[in-house]
């Protein structure tokens, strides 16, 4: 069976000016196979043994002033798996830090590991980190990355939701409305398509005697 080269397929689209947006786990790719491409498409990615993946509550949040993606969005707080210490293009020409925050020092004290910590992260306590970014490619086309959205419940936050909807419009090359993209979400909407995780009774053993 012939396997398709997805990196080449996406690269061809990006070279035509097609936008590329990635959320949460989709921003993580191998450094050697995907890393260089993501730097070209979106401007950054999660690099193993460099970036980290703790769960924490946003604190001291800042949004990019004047960027279309931030229209109608107010600073928000969400407890999520916010990756940080991402790998970005150098120099950062064309990159905009859309969402930044200061992670708790405790997130930098975890044991070293490919996703959990390393000496560089540990030495940067108190530093502001980029959690969402936008990239305008020199040859045309746009990219966007956001490290949150691990928990489905995060979509309940109107400002987070608007930020993501704005980002999709901007990355697609469309004009973001002055007040941002509006959306309505009820509690029923949020749970409508979730898998049913209610414990189900175990079937009786096939050799069980009837009536016992």
Annotated domain spans of the chain: 19-177
* 2 has a pLDDT exceeding 50: no
Confidence of residue 206 (pLDDT cuts 50, 70, 90): low
Q: Which of 70, 127, 72 is nearest to 96 (CA)?
A: 70
pLDDT, tens digit (0-9, with 9 covering 90-100), for 50-65: 999 999 999 899 999 9
* 207 has a pLDDT exceeding 70: no
Q: Give 96's strand partners.
A: 134
What is the pLDDT, as a whole number, of residue 187? 85
Give the residue, 5 or 199, on which the prediction is more confident. 5
pLDDT, tens digit (0-9, with 9 covering 90-100), for 158-203: 999 999 999 999 999 999 999 999 999 888 888 888 887 777 777 7
- The neighbour count for residue 104, using CB atoms within 10 Å, is 14
Query: For the domain 19-177, what is the CATH code?
Result: 3.40.50.880
Q: What percent of the chain has pLDDT over 90?
A: 83
* Residues 146-153, mean pLDDT to the nearest whole number: 95
Q: Which of 95, 103, 96, 91 is nearest to 128 (CA)?
A: 103
């Amino acid at each position: 069976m012939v396997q398709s080269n997805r990196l080449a397929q996406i690269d061809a689209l990006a070279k035509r000016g097609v936008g590329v947006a990635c959320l949460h786990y989709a921003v993580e790719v191998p450094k050697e196979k995907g890393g260089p491409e993501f730097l070209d498409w979106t401007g950054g990615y999660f690099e193993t043994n460099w970036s980290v993946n703790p769960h924490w509550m946003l604190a001291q949040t800042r949004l990019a002033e004047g960027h279309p993606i931030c229209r109608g969005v107010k600073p928000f707080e969400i407890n999520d798996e916010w990756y940080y210490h991402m790998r970005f293009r150098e120099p950062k020409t064309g990159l905009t830090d859309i969402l930044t925050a200061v992670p708790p020092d405790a997130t930098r004290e975890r044991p070293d590991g490919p996703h959990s910590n390393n000496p560089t992260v540990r030495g940067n306590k108190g530093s502001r980190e980029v959690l969402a970014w936008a990239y305008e490619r020199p040859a045309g086309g746009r990219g966007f990355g956001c490290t949150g959205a691990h928990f489905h419940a995060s979509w309940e936050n109107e400002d987070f939701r608007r930020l993501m909807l704005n980002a999709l419009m901007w990355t697609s090359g469309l004009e973001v409305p002055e007040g941002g993209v509006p959306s309505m979400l009820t509690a029923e909407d949020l749970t409508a398509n979730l898998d049913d995780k209610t414990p189900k009774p175990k079937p009786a053993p096939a050799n069980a005697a009837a009536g016992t």
